[in-house]
Every structure is written in structure tokens, then in C-alpha cells.
Amino acid sequence: MRFSGFRVVKEALTGHHGWKPLWRNPAPQPAYDYVIVGGGGHGLATAYHLAKVFKGTRIAVLEKGWLGSGNIGRNTTIIRSNYLLPGNEPFYEFSMKLWETMEQEFNFNAMVSQRGIVNLIHTDAQRDAYRRRGNAMLLAGADAELLDRDGVRAMYPWLNFDNARFPIKGGLLQRRAGTARHDGVAWGYARGADLLGVDIIQNCEVTGFRIENNRVIGVETSRGYIGAKKVGVAVAGSSGRVMAMAGMRLPIESHVLQAFVSEGLKPVVDGVITFGAGHFYVSQSDKGGLVFGGDIDGYNSYAQRGNLPVIEDVAEGGMALMPAIGRARLLRAWGGIMDMSMDGSPIIDRTPVDGLYLNAGWCYGGFKATPASGYAFAHLLATDRPHETATAYRLDRFARGYVIDEKGMGAQPNLH
């Protein structure tokens, strides 16, 4: 069924009886060509692109809970391609271009909204660093603008310009950045993949890999054994747990990142604002909630919940930057498990086990990468070669010294 305004009107006038399930609930087949472990954004995008672009068939996505139950459904919905390093920026710009066309392609409104992101500048050194970054973005074909203080003020006059501990001196603006409706992305890819014949199997937890002669031949699941020619793992915060079943240790720690939403408010924040001197970033959803976040809690965790100090820290940052939002109320806090890698950048690579592929290490930046991650992982699964924008995301880059460390923090995941 094709979604359209016409269809919405027709169904409205005929009692909505014609709407079909957005996807099937298929029983697992005994074997597939491709098994994607993880029915989150990256796994669903991988299956979608495998089927759509690489014409793969016999594809299954195995999800231990409900599809989209991981970080795709618990993030702050920001999309952007404002990276610095050559290992990253072309990939994220590729992702941005996919964001710009995905809705029409998979026929689902994921509410991709390019209302811009401003990274605020508070020191001369920060301006130097953002100038380097903005130039790197332009050189990679992305968009970037350097704003002075007045330029920021014109966009957001109610920011704290006059009474701040760290005065705003400018900002790096990417106009094509913005937000997307996170669940909508998962559903769009899921529906798109389902329509292309992908079996999305929910409530199907992978409990082991069957490996013979160093080649994966299938996965053990809570719903029985499923054979597979190739297995791609895209399980974010569960990467360590899952890959341990294949005998691998990863350059990844799992950490909790909290995110927050306020009660609904009439529109005040048009785009995304990032407060560099504090730990705070914010946008406003179409429903009116201020969606905001800050740093990870900082300790290893699989708990999907965080603690009060970070809530306070984030609110402090918010109030320091935007003292006019104080009378809004925090409505909900939630936590996601982030696969924090050792250099802050992801991994899309083969593993030492033949036929077993890994997509992991997205830290808290996985949402914006969803389309390109899926595309690049599908490319790797289908061709055994990395996508041209993802050649740096190798597992062996750590041992070989080719880390992609945007923040320059070294091998300490909670600092990235």
C-alpha cells in the first residue's frame, strides 16, 4: 500500500478500514542468505538497503524485543554532518544526503526537518577549532557557516548573551542539519524492508552463533536455530554481549546516555542548539516538547536509566544558556545504552570469523548515521568491500594506529 495525502483522505472518508499492517509478523524460516542481528535503526536500514540497493534476497532481521526498541527510539533525534576528520565527514555527509531523500524513497514521513544546528562558540580556541571543522565540512561537500555573536543573536535572541559565565562569541551553523522523528525512521525502514520481502522477526533473541571452521553458518535464537550465509550484527549497546558469543572482545564499552523532554510548549526553539561550554543541547519537537541532553553518565552501564547528577548538570547547562526556559517542566527522562568506542568513531567491518560482520561503536551519535550506516553495512555484506565513505571504520585501526578521534580524548570511551 502506498502512503499519500490522497490515501489518508480516502481512508478518512471510508472509516480507515483499508489500512494494512505496516509490516508482517513472519515466522522465522530455517535459513536465510543474510541474517541481521538487531532490529534497531541500523539493522533495519541495513536490511532495507540490502534488499533495495544490492538486490539481496532471503533477508531476516532478528530483534530480541519490539522493532525500534533500542537507541533508535530513545535519542534526541538530531541529524547533522558537522564532523572534522576525513575518516568521518564524508560518511556523515553521505548520511545527510540520504536523509534528504529517504522519505520519498521509502514512502514514509519520518519528519526529516532541516532547521539547522548551531554549535556555540565561547572562546577564541573554540572558534579556531570550529573554523577548522567548518572548512573540513565545506571541503567534503557539506554546508557550514561561521556566525559571529550578532549572527547567533539574530537567530536566538533569548540566549544568555549578557549575564553568562561563558559569553557566546559566535557559532558554527549547519543549515541542512536538523531533526527527524526517530520512531518514524525505524518504522519507515521496517515498512520499506518488509515490502521488499525482508522478514522482520520480533521477540527473537540471538543466543549464540554457530561457527564451523571459522565460518559462521547460523545463529541460535530464542525461536530456534536459523541458518545464515552471512550474519551482520548491529546491536549498539549490546555489541559487547553479542560478540562475546563469537569469542570476540571489542574496543567498546557500554554506557548510559540520558535524554530528556519537557512538557509541550508553543514553538520557541526553531533549530538545534549545542552549548559547547556546558553539557547541553536542545531542539523542540513538532509536538512542542523541548528535547535535550548532555553528557553520558560516565560509568559502564546496561541499565537503560541514569542518575540525578547528570539530570541536574544538563538542566544547569540549559538554564545557563537559556534562562527563559526555567518555567518549563521536565516531563520525562530516559536512558539508552551507548556502544562507546575507544576513539569515539564507529566500526563497520568484517570480523575474524568468516561471514560475520560487525556494525558498532556509534557512541551517542548513531541516530544521524542511520541511513549511511545501513547503506554502508549493506554494501559490505553484499560485496565484502567497505563503502567508499566508510573505509576508515576498520576494526584493526586501533592496533594499527589509525584511530579517528574527533575529540582527541584517547582510549577512554566515556570522554568521547
Partner 1 sequence: MLIPHPLLGPRDAQEFTYLGDASLLDRPDGMADTAPEAFAEYVYLRDNPAGVHRELWFHEQGDRSWLIVTRNTVTHEILGAELARDVALAAIGGAQ
Partner 2 sequence: MTRLSGGLIDRGTTLNFTFDGRAMTGHPGDTLASALLANDVRLIGRSFKYHRPRGLVAAGSEEPNGMVELRSGARREPNTRATMAELFDGLSADSQNRMGSLGFDLLAVNDLMSPFFAAGFYYKTFMWPRAFWEKLYEPMIRRAAGLGSLSMLPDPDSYDKGFLHCDLLVIGGGAAGLAAALTAARAGARVILADEDFRLGGRLLAESHTLDDAPATDWIAQAEAEFASLPNLRVMRRTTVFGAFDHGIYGAVERVGDHLVTPGKGVRQTLWRITAKRTVLAAGATERHIPFANNDRPGVMLAGAMRAYANRWAVSPAQTVAIFTNGDDGHRTALDLAAKGVSIAGVIDTRADARAQGDYPLFAGAVVSDTKGRLGLKRIAVTREGQTQWIEAGALGVAGGWNPNVHLASHHRGRPVWNDDLLAFLPEPGAVPGMVVAGAANGQGSTHGALHSGAQTALAALAELGITAPAPDLPRAEDAPVTQAAFWHVPGKGRAWVDFQNDVTVKDIKLAHQENMRPVEHLKRWTTLGMATDQGKTANVTALAVMAELSGQSIPATGTTIFRPPYTGVSLSVLGGGDTGPNFRPRRLTPTHEWAASQGAVFVEVGQWMRAQYFPRKGETHWRETVDREVLATRAGVGLCDVTTLGKVDVQGADAGEFLNRIYANAMGSLKVGMVRYGLMLREDGHAYDDGTCARLAEDHYVVTTTTAQAGPVYRHMEFARQCLWPDLDVQLISTTDAWAQISVAGPNARKLLERVVDGFDLSNAAFPFMACSELTVCKGLRARLFRISFSGELAYEIAVPARYGNALMARMIELGADLGATPYGTEALGVLRIEKGHAAGNELNGQTTAQMLGMGRMVSTKKDSIGAVMSRREGLTAETRVLVGLQPVDPGARVAAGMHLFAQGAAQNTQSDQGWITSACYSPHVGSMIGLGFLADGAARIGEVITGANPLEGQSTALRVVSPHFVDPEGGRLRD
Under a CB-based contact definition with an 8 Å cutoff, are residues 89 and 140 in contact? Answer: yes
User: Cell 548532555, residue?
Assistant: 294
Tell me: does residue 165 bind partner 1 (CB under 8 A). no
First and final C-alpha spacing in the chain: 43
Tell me the closest approach of the beta carbon of residue 207 to partner 1, in angstroms: 14
Nearest residue to 337 via CA among 236, 259, 415: 236
In the complex with partner 1, the residue whose CB is nearer, 12 or 399, is: 399
In the complex with partner 2, the residue whose CB is nearer, 132 or 215, is: 132
**Contact range with partner 1 by CB under 8 A, out of 74-82, 165-173, 206-214, 247-255:** 247-255
Whole-angstrom distance, CA of residue 293 vs CA of residue 183: 18
Amino acid at 173: L
Instruction: Enter the C-alpha cell of residue 393.
Output: 571504520
Tell me the closest approach of the beta carbon of residue 236 to partner 1, in angstroms: 12
Tell me: does residue 414 bind partner 1 (CB under 8 A). yes
Residue list 383-402, contact with partner 1 (CB under 8 A): 398-399
Secondary structure (3-state) at 200: strand
Whole-angstrom distance, CA of residue 163 vs CA of residue 384: 55
Nearest residue to 82 via CA among 347, 365, 280: 365
Whole-angstrom distance, CA of residue 405 vs CA of residue 411: 9
Tell me: does residue 2 bind partner 1 (CB under 8 A). no
Tell me: does residue 240 bind partner 1 (CB under 8 A). yes
In the complex with partner 2, the residue whose CB is nearer, 11 or 220, is: 11
Tell me: does residue 69 bind partner 1 (CB under 8 A). no
How many residues sit close enough to partner 1 to count as binding (CB under 8 A)? 25
Taken as a whole, the chain contains a residue count of 416
Whole-angstrom distance, CA of residue 340 vs CA of residue 413: 5
Tell me the closest approach of the beta carbon of residue 130 to partner 2, in angstroms: 7
- Residue from 249, 266, 267, 327 touching partner 1 (CB under 8 A): that is 249
Instruction: Enter the C-alpha cell of residue 238.
Output: 549490546
How many CB atoms neighbour CB 27 within 10 A? 10
Residue list 252-291, contact with partner 1 (CB under 8 A): 252-254
Secondary structure (3-state) at 18: coil
Pairing of strands 59-62, 31-37: parallel
Tell me: does residue 251 bind partner 1 (CB under 8 A). yes
Tell me the closest approach of the beta carbon of residue 228 to partner 2, in angstroms: 25
Tell me: does residue 241 bind partner 1 (CB under 8 A). yes
Instruction: Enter the C-alpha cell of residue 396.
Output: 584493526
Helix H, strand E, coil C: the string for 116-174 is CEEEEECCHHHHHHHHHHHHHHHHCCCCCEEEEHHHHHHHCCCCCCCCCCCCCCEEEEE
Residue 208 interacting partner from partner 2, partner 1, none (CB closer than 5 to 8 Å by kind)? none
Residue 40 interacting partner from partner 2, partner 1, none (CB closer than 5 to 8 Å by kind)? none
Residue 30 interacting partner from partner 2, partner 1, none (CB closer than 5 to 8 Å by kind)? none
Residue 244 interacting partner from partner 2, partner 1, none (CB closer than 5 to 8 Å by kind)? partner 1
Residue 135 interacting partner from partner 1, partner 2, none (CB closer than 5 to 8 Å by kind)? partner 2
In the complex with partner 1, the residue whose CB is nearer, 173 or 252, is: 252
Instruction: Enter the C-alpha cell of residue 337.
Output: 545504552
Secondary structure (3-state) at 285: coil
In the complex with partner 1, the residue whose CB is nearer, 190 or 296, is: 296
Residue 252 interacting partner from partner 1, partner 2, none (CB closer than 5 to 8 Å by kind)? partner 1
Tell me the closest approach of the beta carbon of residue 343 to partner 1, in angstroms: 9
- Give the interface with partner 1 as residue ranges (CB under 8 A): 238, 240-241, 244, 249-254, 298-303, 307, 309, 342, 398-399, 411-414
